[in-house]
Chains A and B, each alone.
Chain A
Amino acid sequence: MKFLEYQVKERFRAAGVPVPDGRLARTPDEAALAAGALGPIAVKAQVPVGGRGKAGGIKLAKTAADAKRVAGEILGMTIKGYVVKEVLCETAQEITRELYLGLTLDRDARKPVLILSAQGGMEIEEVAETHPEAIAKLHPDPWRGPLAFEVRDLIFRAGLGPLQAQLTPLVVKLYALARTYDALTIEINPLALTRDGGLVAADGKLEIDENAMFRHKDLHGADDSEEDPLEAEAKRRRLTYVRLDGSIGVIGNGAGLVMNTLDLVQREGGHAANFLDIGGGAKAEVVHSALELLASDPQVKGILINIFGGITRGDEVAHGIIDATRDLHLTLPLVVRMTGTREEEGRRLLQEAGITPEATATAAARRIVELSSDPAR
């Protein structure tokens, strides 16, 4: 789950991480009021994607009239598919230096990693590529968290020794926030050094581990209704779905197998319309729901189902397929390849319903590419 900047900053503020004074505005008049109260402000589009500044979603306003005008420009804009419904109006900062402070997962170390750099701002990813030495890292012990001396060491390695007294508590607070919210990523970028020598979180990012949502049922993140409507629908159905740009709908179980199925479709000359993993142990209803989703996609000209059962049982999958083809009056070409746990039962059920499963994944990919490119259909 992702959060909008203002939602992240509410949490920063509550945790004692300094943020600029700000107000949320949903209309140009509200932005004008904010400027009246705060003085010169930055008007910032609230969308759950990066690159807002470059897209024209962040503008400065010196007066209330300015604020009304720029908010009028930004509200209603579309940035990477997201319509701007709210702007954050924040006291403009006199920034002398932009730092970076964040936490993410280091897969190779099998631990979260705290990252600090004296070269923050929009180009941080480029800095990481071209000047890795400008990025200091700390892997805190997962049981005790970062200790003060480890944090000081991180700060000195980042070349930020003179800011050590201010930075140390900030790093500790960020780590605590990450733990509190089960953050996959939490980031202050830029962490701004202002003219008066203070540090302030000029922007913030937070993404929560979906696997930990059972601990955070009270949290509401960014409204993702502006996402691809099929991806949003898939999320509602709790299906792991990614939209792609081809015409062959693909359903399978297990990320590796589904990715391999996409690769096979491409090898046979087709292009997948999506990645859809029904996961382990899927019941008939899940298969039904997955088929219903793909059948609603006008881009889909044929559907390939590739199941190799471990926890997933062939009979369950077969019931789902049979029920869905009946309920949805499915006329699209449908090719099934099924093997593994309760394979015989599943294949028998399918055959009784007039669906003949293919013997191998490659044969199934070839068949669906043939069927869905048939001009007679």
Chain B
Amino acid sequence: MSILLTGESRVLVQGLTGREGSFHTEQMKAYGTNVVAGVSPGKGGTTHLGIPVFDTVADARRETGADVSGIFVPAPFAADAIMEAAAAGIGLIVCITEGIPLYDMVRARAFVVDAAAKLIGPNCPGLTTAGEAKVGIIPNHISTPGSVGIVSRSGTLTYEVIQGLSQAGVGQTTSVGIGGDPILGLSFSDVLRLFKEDPATEAVVMIGEIGGSDEEAAAEQVIGRSFGKPVIGFISGRTAPPGKRMGHAGAIISGNTGTAASKLQALKRAGAQVCDTIEEVVAAAGAALGQRSSAAHR
């Protein structure tokens, strides 16, 4: 079991024929993902990397039954691509693109909510269900099947955690990078609720960063309310000076909310185990699983 994505998922790629779309689709296929279609307007009827290409998402969905879309189109067109997928009835939309204008994204998000689709990202690494499938850019070789769920706002820091866990012999169910932009699809709370309901996920690692208050909201509304599984939390940006924008539109501190201290405190109060380094996160996740299995055997 896993959340959101399985080996059965029928994946289409918007922007398949572009440079990044091609490179990462090959990686996705190499991982075993069931990539059934590509969409590149004007290239319908051709094939690329052995995958049939369609002009529209609606065509691709009708012909192939695709139910998940990965988006690799350039930022000026990405919000439209998200809405096209939602309008075509795609249930899970994963947008990797970085740099989408704010107002485009605000509208696209509202559109996705109305269509009752799930959006991951934008400006995210996507997700991997270990050993089954991936949509996005998480490196193939780092994931190992197991029972830890990962949800993270960072891209590259997520890879650190996945690799660290795998090297320590701690496998994962699904690793989800929710993205670093201020306007996102699924939040920490949304993904944590999915992990809560997933029988295969026995513990969850949550990687937050300074800025916004999604970590605090997840702590109060999900982790602190009989979550029933160990949660290991980590926040990056502890030493970032207040008021400085650190790359992500998201990673900016304003006032007292959004600081590392506020997030760490909220996580602790909710009963999560808070760690100072990625190495500690890995050790804590391993220990949490050990305790659960020994408790189950007693």
Contacts and interface: CB of A to CB of B under 8 A. Distances in A.
A212 interface: yes
A107 B107 contact: no
Contact of A279 (B98, B213, B279): B98
A124 B103 CA distance: 25
Interface in B239-258: 239-241, 244-251, 255
A311 B209 contact: no
Majority secondary structure, B binding face:
loop
B237 A263 contact: yes
Contacts of A182: 101-103
B154 A143 contact: no
Interface in B93-128: 96, 98-104, 106-107, 109-110, 125
Nearest to B142: A340
A215 B101 contact: yes
Interface string A114-148: 00000000000100010000000000011100000
A142 B106 contact: yes
A339 B278 CA distance: 15
B109 A252 contact: no
Interface in A246-266: 252-260, 262-264, 266
Which of A143, A264, A311 has most B Cβ within 10 Å?
A: A311
Which of B110, B207, B237, B244 has most A Cβ within 10 Å?
A: B237
Nearest to A260: B236
Interface string A192-219: 0000000000000000010110110000
A328 interface: no
Interface residues of B, number: 63
Given A244-B241, A275-B240, A311-B20, A255 B98 contact: no
A53 interface: no
A267 B101 CA distance: 36
Given A254-B157, A257-B154, A259-B209, A275 B247 contact: yes
Given A111-B106, A142-B106, A310 B239 contact: no
B139 A309 contact: yes
A372 B200 CA distance: 46
Q: Interface extent on A, as a size class?
A: 35 or more
Nearest to A340: B139
A27 interface: no
A261 to B, nearest CB: 9
A264 B160 CA distance: 13
Given A242-B245, A310-B125, A142 B103 contact: yes
Given A110-B109, A110-B183, A263-B237, A310 B102 contact: no
Interface string B209-245: 1111110010000000000000000001111110011
Given A105-B182, A256-B180, A340-B139, A308 B76 contact: no
Nearest to A128: B255
Contact of B213 (A107, A141, A252, A260): A107
A310 B246 contact: no
A280 interface: yes
A255 B137 contact: no
A195 to B, nearest CB: 35
B137 A310 contact: yes
B163 interface: yes
Interface in B161-179: 163
A377 to B, nearest CB: 24
Contacts of B100: 211
B139 A212 contact: no
B16 interface: no
A352 interface: no
B223 to A, nearest CB: 17
Interface in A318-377: 339-341, 360-362
Contacts of A94: none
Nearest to B153: A256
Nearest to A243: B244
12 contacts: A129-B255, A142-B103, A211-B75, A254-B157, A256-B158, A256-B237, A260-B157, A260-B160, A310-B125, A310-B159, A311-B137, A362-B278
A277 interface: yes
Contacts of A212: 101-104
B246 A107 contact: no
Interface in B1-34: 20, 24, 27
Which of A253, A255, A263, A361 has most B Cβ within 10 Å?
A: A255
Given A108-B217, A263-B239, A279-B98, A310 B160 contact: no
A281 interface: yes
Contacts of B180: 255-256
A260 B240 CA distance: 9
